[in-house]
Amino acid sequence: MLTSIVFYIFAAVIVASALAVVLMKNLVHAALYLVAAFVGVAAMYVLLEAEFLAVVQILVYAGAVAIIIAFGLMLTRRTTMSETSGFNTQKRWAAVTGAVLFGIIAFLFARTDWNVKEGASSTSVTEGISELMFVDYVIAFETIAILLLIAMVGAIVIAKEVKKRRDNA
């Protein structure tokens, strides 16, 4: 009973945050609501006893993706959605399409026979994944980390050069 209540609370937070991301006119606020949606999804993973996925969700999406979005906002100096792209006139069609897709998904959800089975313990899954990442594939894991660091430094250097060109022009 308590799990169901917590599930619906987090579901409401995720849906409200996702709607706020789409409807916000301020990009910084939209990015913050995106982080809230990511954290809500991580909470759902905890409810499903998938702690590893919850931690990855926080680190990769709520952490890294949100930081990249924040850097992008700071480097472009745009604060409102109207500065990035013009608003289109297709809002009604988008709403109709979204409602139709939601109806199809709700129909399929209601007609599906959900077979719930007891799975393996999440701690054994987490231990197995961590052993693979940090023992068997540690070289590949560290190589990817270094590659991502180099890509981030390169993106910052390129953004600074573009900024210098704009300031000089």
* pLDDT per position as a tens digit, 67-86: 877 777 777 665 555 555 55
Q: What is the pTM of this model?
A: 0.61
Structure token pair of residue 3 = 């799990």
Q: Could you tell me which residue, 92 or 110, shows the higher pLDDT?
A: 110
Residue 162 has pLDDT above 70, yes or no: no
* pLDDT per position as a tens digit, 39-60: 999 999 999 888 888 888 898 8
Q: What distance in Å separates the CA atoms of residue 143 and residue 149, rounded to the nearest whole number?
A: 10
Which ranges in the chain belong to alpha helices (H)? 2-23, 27-47, 51-56, 66-76, 81-84, 91-111, 122-131, 138-168
Structure token pair of residue 151 = 């890509």
> Do residues 20 and 30 touch, judged by C-beta distance below 8 A?
yes
